[in-house]
Structure 1
Amino acid sequence: MTGRLYGVGLGPGDPELVTVKAARLIGEADVIAYHAARHGRSIARSIALPYMRDGQVEELLLYPLTTETTDHPGGYRGALDDFYAECATRLAAHLDAGRTVVVLSEGDPLFYGSYMHMHKRLAHRYPTEVVPGVTSVSAASAVLGRPLVEHEETLTVLPGTLPADVLTEKLRTTDSAAVLKLGRTFEKVRDALAEAGRLDDAWYVERATTPAERLAPLKDVDPAGVPYFSLALLPSPLDQRPAPDPPRQEEPTPGEVTVVGLGPAGREWLTPEAQDALAAATDLVGYAPYVDRVPPNPRQTRHRTDNTEEAARARHALDLALSGAHVAVVSSGDPGVFAMATAVLEAAADDRYESVPVRVVPGLTAAQAVASRAGAPLGHDYCVLSLSDRLKPWEVVASRLTAAAQADLVIAIYNPASKTRTWQVQATRDLLLTHRPGTTPVVIGRQVGSPAEQLTVTTLASLDPTTIDMRCLLIIGSTQTRVTPQGQVYTPRRYPATG
């Protein structure tokens, strides 16, 4: 099997502008090839050096000449053709031996790059991939902070080696232009810009993005100091004045409250809508561990509270909105399932918050997360209950459990136990055992989605209440819920006829 050839663009000079892919391929390559003039110093190699490793084979492709004359029978072009053919032969030997070869190229490999001569001679013979890079034209525009083209404008890229009359005509008829390969052609390019009536608009950019970078109006540049790695740039001729500042708002913008579901844990459970709401917020309000799940943003103010302060938290959020803040109230899971959406809407019913809009952004629920890990236990009719008797009497909880059990619903149980509520799980198990067999599947999901995630599948009779706390969610199966030989839990979509 032959090796693989890569033409890798390195960008304009700053090693930090090398793409992630280019850096990876440079580090993985068996052979690193690069061109250089006869002094042997390669700009491409200096850019790639931070990503190279010890032990790689280096192939220096040394040009036999640059601008001087030659006695080669084919002249200057013939000498270079022979050079490129010899370079291709050297690289082919590595490829035939199964080695990965990366040919380095400043800028983009197929944009006035030396790599293209290797590509034309080798790409049809070996697996080949070209990795694009940031061009010198893009870099020049960036360091100047001037757009290249806008709307329907045309950008023309020209080599400075063109005849003067051709340069003049093309510069006269285009909107924007970049003229490369200055060096000895600089005076001709400057004269062409003047003849085209564009000299006053032209900029000179030398070695953009490197420590030796130089920017100047082109008409002020001394030709004696112009290197090959420089270019002339005509930016977009559209209005080049700075855009006006946005009008200052004398009145505070209306505030709002968005109640955001974070999902059960981790950023991968967060919906794009929730991410957008969090990014737009000026203030975050919530139970401290939930607020801490949102990456810090210096632009935002964070208001962290205890878990038992829902009503005060909701009023605080609404008060912030009254003062113009865009508030995100964060909840784990879905904010409308035993969470902050109801608390905020209850508080917002007060007449003084009439002007504050409240929006609810859903999140993936804990029941859905645990069910997905277990299989499909919620595949048929189910209900969701909270065992907490902090806001409702236990008698109501027990009556609802009884009704769900008699209806043979799968039951997802939130808030099963806490430090002060230690007997409800056992009471629930005992109550359900009067309606369902002890073999009924039970799923226990603990901190699903977090690094400490645990999932246990047991039976109703074997459920140990002492192992359950507030970090758990229980799913109690119906009489139809099954466990596969692989341990996955599901409730069939069809229910047997009762008549």
Structure 2
Amino acid sequence: MSVSEQQANAPETGRLYGVGLGPGDPSLMTVRAVRVIAEADVVAYHSARHGRSIARSIAAEHLRPDHIEEALVYPVTTESTDHPGGYRGALDEFYEEAAARLAVHLDAGRTVAVISEGDPLFYGSYQHMHKRLAHRYPTEVIPGVTSVSAAAARLGKPLAEADEVLTILPGTLPEEELTARLASTDAAVVMKLGRTFPTVRRAMERSGRLPEACYVERATMPGERTDALSAIDSDTVPYFSVAVVPSRIANPPQPAHQGEVVVVGTGPAGPLWLTPESRGALAAAEDLVGYTTYLDRVPVRPGQRRHGSDNKVESERAELALDLARRGRRVAVVSGGDPGIFAMATAVLEVASQDPYRSVPVRVLPGVTAANAAAARAGAPLGHDYAVISLSDRLKPWEVIAERLRSAVAADLVLALYNPGSRSRTWQVAKTRELLLEHRAPDTPVVLGRDVGGPEESVRTVRLADLDPTQVDMRTILLIGSSQTQAVRRDDGTDRDVVWTPRRYPEA
């Protein structure tokens, strides 16, 4: 039976309302909120032990002398407690007792309005009553203007525009988590400041968002204050304040006084493989430089310049990025996978080590490698020592590749083979298989990972002797097992082998 059916069949009781009062200014209460309070028999509100309730002060002019008032006084707020269940146990016990007090009125047929600042279901105290009572009594929630909306209005800065993502964070998160989320989002609001402010400020600085961040205290209330977050003394910050990183489109960051180049690894495919730091660097860049296929993975942002090129002009791309940075631009060089593995980091650093680019700041942000992505899909074939080798002889002779293959296979290393074949390179895979079979058993597992993470993803495991060079192209990575690598068909419904290399070697 649904909740609505249960309520319809229940004995006549009072009605529960969760009433949002808005951010503080009584004139920002909704007409519906005012009407519900006026018609209620009981008005309940939360407060700290000092007895003052912000919610009550907002709704004060609408309270009648004959209203029954229920002050739900928290036993603890931020201080410690000797409750046997700790802080959470003390609050849970309080919420149960408060809900029981309100249930007495509802059972007696009285209408109960639980008022809360902001919106009742947005970090609101009312939600704890809702979870305990809404399934038992007819209930309605009256939404209210949130502090997020009020802060943006008082700043006069749009929060999000077009396809931007707005992230709302509690300041109580660990600093590392705050930093990662601030770095990866377009716009943000951090709630619950007060004692968390020093942590929030450090996270803003570490994520590069501090220059954009604004501070709003007691929005729409007496004592309201707005300023740049960087100008705020942490000793003066109350709980009722928020940090706002507004829309980058509507409020573009100030141009960099000194440009920089950030080489960003996008992983093997689309946005799911991006790290938060890489996502933030791509969003903050004024210019994106890269192979067109990789640039297409990055969302288009208004005001951002894109410089696409062919896959075979790494040095030219590096020079373009560094020239832009010399002119004060923030430049992101977009690279697939990890930029330091057969990708753009080397090209950028090689050019950056020459005049006239030696003084241009260059950072490299890692990405998920093709080898790691394919290995994860297959199981754990890279669970022990392994070697990474490119089969492309465009930048080094085949003799060097063959010698490295012989050395790696003689050392019994798992092999991750990049760039195994292309339209112009058709014989390298067959030659590699021939060379490896001189040292490895024919049934050695070989993982073929193609377009991992992409729309045409294919991950297969074959025997080394059965490796078909015609099934391998430039979008494929090969993982060749060692003498210890296992391939086992499990009863998990996947209809494919799971491949792993034991971490313990037999002689150990």
Query: For residue 401 of structure 1, what is the aligned residue in structure 2?
Result: 405
Query: For residue 278 of structure 1, what is the aligned residue in structure 2?
Result: 282
Say if 1:87 and 1:289 are closer, same or farther in 2 by CA, change over 3 A.
same
Query: For residue 182 of structure 2, what is the aligned residue in structure 1?
Result: none
The CA deviation at 1:372 is 0.7
Q: For the residues of structure 2 that align with 1:136 and 1:314, how far apart are their CA atoms? A: 46
Give yes or no for contact 2:375–2:382 (8 Å, CA) kept in 1.
yes
1:349-428 to structure 2, matched below 5 A, reads 349-428=353-432
**Deviation sequence 1:74-93 (CA, Å, 0-9, x none):** x9669xxxxx999878999x
1:81-230 to structure 2, matched below 5 A, reads 108-109=119-120, 123=133, 126=136, 133-135=143-145, 143=153
3-state SS of the aligned residue for 1:404? helix
3-state SS of the aligned residue for 1:334? coil
The CA deviation at 1:451 is 2.4
How high is the TM-score relative to the length of structure 1?
0.58
* 1:495 equivalenced with 2:505 (yes/no): yes
Q: For the residues of structure 1 that align with 2:150 and 2:22, how far apart are their CA atoms? A: 9
How high is the TM-score relative to the length of structure 2?
0.57
The CA deviation at 1:132 is 8.4
Query: For residue 256 of structure 1, what is the aligned residue in structure 2?
Result: 260
Query: For residue 335 of structure 2, what is the aligned residue in structure 1?
Result: 331
Structure 2 residue identity aligned to 1:405: V
Structure 1 residue identity aligned to 2:295: V
Give yes or no for contact 2:257–2:328 (8 Å, CA) kept in 1.
yes
Larger radius of gyration: 1
CA RMSD of aligned residues (A): 4.7
3-state SS of the aligned residue for 1:328? strand
The CA deviation at 1:316 is 1.0
Say if 1:135 and 1:419 are closer, same or farther in 2 by CA, change over 3 A.
same
Say if 1:237 and 1:104 are closer, same or farther in 2 by CA, change over 3 A.
closer
Query: For residue 439 of structure 1, what is the aligned residue in structure 2?
Result: 443
**Deviation sequence 1:161-216 (CA, Å, 0-9, x none):** xxxxxxxxxxxxxxx999xxxxxxxxxxxxxxxxxxxxxxxx9xxxxxxxxxxxxx
**Deviation sequence 1:21-50 (CA, Å, 0-9, x none):** xxxxxxxxxxxxx96999xxxxxxxxxxxx
Identity %: 52
Q: For the residues of structure 2 that align with 1:7 and 1:307, how far apart are their CA atoms? A: 62
Query: For residue 474 of structure 2, what is the aligned residue in structure 1?
Result: 470
The CA deviation at 1:340 is 0.6
Query: For residue 236 of structure 1, what is the aligned residue in structure 2?
Result: 224
Q: For the residues of structure 2 that align with 1:427 and 1:369, how far apart are their CA atoms? A: 25
Q: For the residues of structure 2 that align with 1:345 and 1:460, how far apart are their CA atoms? A: 37
Query: For residue 225 of structure 1, what is the aligned residue in structure 2?
Result: none
Query: For residue 58 of structure 2, what is the aligned residue in structure 1?
Result: none
Structure 2 residue identity aligned to 1:493: R
Query: For residue 460 of structure 1, what is the aligned residue in structure 2?
Result: 464
Q: For the residues of structure 2 that align with 1:274 and 1:253, how far apart are their CA atoms? A: 22
Q: For the residues of structure 2 that align with 1:235 and 1:481, how far apart are their CA atoms? A: 68
Structure 2 residue identity aligned to 1:236: E
Number of equivalenced pairs: 342
Query: For residue 186 of structure 1, what is the aligned residue in structure 2?
Result: none
Please point out which of 301, 319, 326 is paired with 2:323: 319
The CA deviation at 1:367 is 0.3
Give yes or no for contact 1:255–1:321 (8 Å, CA) kept in 2.
yes
Q: For the residues of structure 1 that align with 2:108 and 2:388, how far apart are their CA atoms? A: 72
Q: For the residues of structure 1 that align with 2:362 and 2:328, how far apart are their CA atoms? A: 13
Say if 1:126 and 1:456 are closer, same or farther in 2 by CA, change over 3 A.
same
3-state SS of the aligned residue for 1:352? coil
Structure 1 residue identity aligned to 2:498: Q
Runs of 4+ in 1 over 2 A off after TM superposition: 1-13, 34-38, 75-78, 84-92, 103-111, 122-147, 233-239, 249-252
Give yes or no for contact 1:146–1:236 (8 Å, CA) kept in 2.
no
**Deviation sequence 1:266-321 (CA, Å, 0-9, x none):** 21211122122222211111100111111111132111010001111111111111
Give yes or no for contact 2:410–2:439 (8 Å, CA) kept in 1.
yes
Give yes or no for contact 1:7–1:105 (8 Å, CA) kept in 2.
no
Residue segments in structure 2 that go unaligned for 5+ positions in a row: 8-15, 24-34, 40-61, 69-102, 158-192, 196-216, 232-252, 491-496
3-state SS of the aligned residue for 1:488? strand
Structure 2 residue identity aligned to 1:349: S
Query: For residue 29 of structure 1, what is the aligned residue in structure 2?
Result: none
Structure 1 residue identity aligned to 2:463: T
Structure 2 residue identity aligned to 1:263: G
Give yes or no for contact 1:385–1:411 (8 Å, CA) kept in 2.
yes
3-state SS of the aligned residue for 1:350? coil
Say if 1:458 and 1:300 are closer, same or farther in 2 by CA, change over 3 A.
same
* 1:295 equivalenced with 2:299 (yes/no): yes
Structure 2 residue identity aligned to 1:411: L
Say if 1:133 and 1:464 are closer, same or farther in 2 by CA, change over 3 A.
same
Please point out which of 347, 368, 375 is paired with 1:343: 347
The CA deviation at 1:497 is 2.8
Say if 1:328 and 1:11 are closer, same or farther in 2 by CA, change over 3 A.
farther
